[in-house]
Amino acid sequence: MIRVVLPAHLRTLARVGGEVQLTVADPVTVATVLDALEECYPMLRGTIRDHGAGRRRAFIRFYACEQDFSNDPPDTALPGPVVSGTEPFLVVGAMAGG
Amino acid sequence: MAKVRVLVGTRKGAFILTSDGKREKWEVSGPHFGGWEIYHMNGSPADPARLYVSQSTGWFGQIIQRSDDGGATWAPMGNEFAYDGHSGDHVWFDGTPRPWEFKRVWHLEPSYTDPDTVYAGIEDAALFRSTDGAKSWQEMPGLRTGTAADTWGPGAGGLCLHTIRVDPRDNGRVYAAISAAGVFRSDDHGQTWRPANRGLRSAQLPDEDVEVGHCVHRIAFHPSRPDVLYMQKHWHVMRSDDGAGSWHKISGNLPTDFGFVIDVHAHEPETVFVVPIKSDSEHYPPDGRLAVYRSRTGGGEWEALTNGLPQQDCYVNVLRDAMCVDSLDECGVYFGTTGGQVYASADAGGSWAPIVRDLPAVLSVEVQTLP
């Protein structure tokens, strides 16, 4: 199972209390994890990446295993510990605003 | 006894304020969607239990929420606002072409007759409609394709479609107002549109009475007389007696005719309310004294209504969607400020009292009159 940690506002929107666990077929990439996330929680569509083009929203970041995947191509493979469920994939709201 | 439900959108969440017909004691519910900007929350005239909310942040974009039980519970609905076909360009601040890009929903206008039909005014300016209770949205592209929209440019607040008024006679007439383009009118249920700005003059434009380019802040009409429209423009309070065919100035003795809100008494079509703001660069009341001005003559002659409003050191603004009236026998008037106060008057502006004082900055105020 892939573990995903969402920012508080998106947990509230998706009505989940903690981590989300997803089944993701190989290859496990940023794009396939987000596809699975939006399939399970359709209310999150458009909140992490744009409708249509699928671009990451400007103030969203993707981290895993102390690495920043935010600006990597969406088909970038995620590290083994994320695939095995040892480490979570983090969706983070960037530090901004007031 | 009848009740009122005031729907307040703020910079950091939505609040629902309820009272009986006396409008003296209030219950406050919220924040709903805490931390999110609530540009607008509005109820269906056809089913008052049906509420629609525009919820957004810079982080997570646009959400549309719907309630079918008067705000007790909510469900997120469709949030994809895809422009129809090739969206084209509009004019950016530096005069260069800029692709149309969805940013947020400014205004939600439910149908008079069908709870599932609701219009949305968005930034960058376009009109969308849902006929399935906000599950999906379709652009009404005639507003942009037939009106030289490639010449439109944003005001300081963005290129936003902020006001939608549907003629209650069900004759197909719809008005939309855009900053900074002006008023547009459709006579075929929103299929085709034409500019409706004759008579407007804006000193900020090189051609002061150009057909398109005016910064209209708000338009209003009385449901019994929808051919008479009132407008608060960037500067100037205006009136049309022919369905926006032409406009004339009714600023009269106002201390300043800059402002954002304008609304009409529920039972007196010639009674109009505005909140004068000092200037386009000083968005607060003149002399730090907050006042609603009322005209009982359809404009031109105005009286200050200050009883209960702060008369010193008040430097708040009242934004364009933040005034409304209820339809009880004694017309209630409501407005919200950027200082977080929501003021109510149960006697058509004769006296005022705050319902709440310390909300986040208020973006919008609507009221439902309930049996």
Rounded to a whole number, what is the distance in Å from the CA of A21 to chain B's nearest CA? Answer: 21
State yes or no: pLDDT of A97 exceeds 70. no
Per domain, the residue ranges of chain A are 2-93
Contact status of A34 with chain B (Cβ, < 8 Å)? no
What pLDDT shows up at residue B167? 97
Q: Closest residue of A to B80, CA-based? A: A51
Q: List strands edge to edge, sheet with B27-32.
A: B27-32, B13-20, B3-10, B362-370
Interchain CB contact of A70 with B (< 8 Å): no
Question: Is ipTM strictly over 0.85?
Answer: yes
User: Could A43 and B57 be called an inter-chain contact, meaning their C-beta atoms sit closer than 8 Å?
Assistant: no
In this complex, which of B58, B76, B82 lies closest to A13 when CB atoms are compared? B76
Q: Which pLDDT does position A53 carry in this prediction?
A: 87
Query: Rounded to whole angstroms, how far apart are CA atoms B338 and B336?
Result: 7
| A40 token code pair | 């399970």
- The CATH superfamily holding the domain A2-93 is Beta-grasp domain (3.10.20.30)
Can you give the pTM of this predicted structure?
A: 0.96
| H-type alpha helices, chain A | 8-14, 30-40, 80-84
Give me the phi and psi of B217, to 5 degrees please.
-95, -30
**Chain B residues whose beta carbon lies within 8 Å of the beta carbon of residue A94:** 59
The DSSP bridge pattern shows strands A89-93 and A2-5 to be: parallel
- Residue B269 preceded by cis peptide, ω within 30: no
Query: Per-residue pLDDT averaged across A12-37, rounded?
Result: 96
CA distance A36 to chain B (A): 18
Domains and CATH numbers, chain B: 35-49+62-315 (2.130.10.10)
Share of chain B residues as helix, strand and coil, in percent rounded to the nearest 5 = 5, 40, 55
Residue spans of chain B under pLDDT 70: none
pLDDT for the residue numbered A98: 55
Chain B residues in contact with A51 (beta carbon < 8 A): 79-80, 82
The C-alpha torsion from B124 through B285 and B339 to B324, rounded to 10°, is -60
DSSP class of A49: B
Contacts of B5 (CB under 8 A, 6+ apart): B16, B17, B18, B43, B48, B70, B71, B367, B368, B370
Q: Rounded to whole angstroms, what are the CA distances from B14 to B36, B41, B317, B354?
A: 8, 8, 19, 17
Beta-carbon contacts of A71 under 8 Å, excluding residues fewer than 6 positions away, are none
CA nearest neighbour of B273 among B199, B332, B338, B200: B332
Give the β-pairing of B216-222 and B194-195: unpaired
Other CB atoms within 10 Å distance of the CB of residue B291:
24
In this predicted model, what pLDDT tens digit does every residue of B248-281 receive, in sequence order? 999 999 999 999 999 999 999 999 999 999 999 9
Pick from A84, A10, A7: nearest CA to A41: A10
Interface contact B60-A96, CB threshold 8 A: no
Contact B2, B368 (CB under 8 A): no
pLDDT at B86: 78
Question: Which pLDDT does position B233 carry in this prediction?
Answer: 97
Is the CB of B76 less than 8 angstroms away from the CB of A43?
A: yes
pLDDT of residue B209: 87
Contact with chain B for residue A53, Cβ under 8 A? no
Chain A closest CA to B226's CA: distance in Å? 38
User: What are the structure tokens assigned to B356, written together?
Assistant: 């709440």
Q: Token pair for residue B230?
A: 């009132």
Check if the beta carbon of residue A95 is closer than 8 Å to that of residue A60.
no
Query: What are the distances in angstroms from CA B77 to CA A66, B53, B57, B137?
Result: 35, 10, 16, 10
Strand partners, B28: B17
Task: Tell me, rounded to whole angstroms, the distance of Cα B199 from its chain centroid.
Answer: 22
Q: How many residues does chain B have?
A: 371
List for chain A the helix, strand, coil content (%; round to 5): 25, 25, 50
Cβ neighbours around A44 below 10 Å, total: 23
- H helices of chain B, in order, are 142-145
Chain B neighbors of A47, CB-CB under 8 A: 60-61, 63, 79
DSSP A42: G
SS3 category, B77: coil
Please report, for residues A70, A83, B45, B210, B349, the alpha-carbon distance to residue B218 in angstroms, rounded to integers and kept in the order given: 41, 54, 20, 19, 20
Secondary structure class of B266 (helix, strand, coil): coil
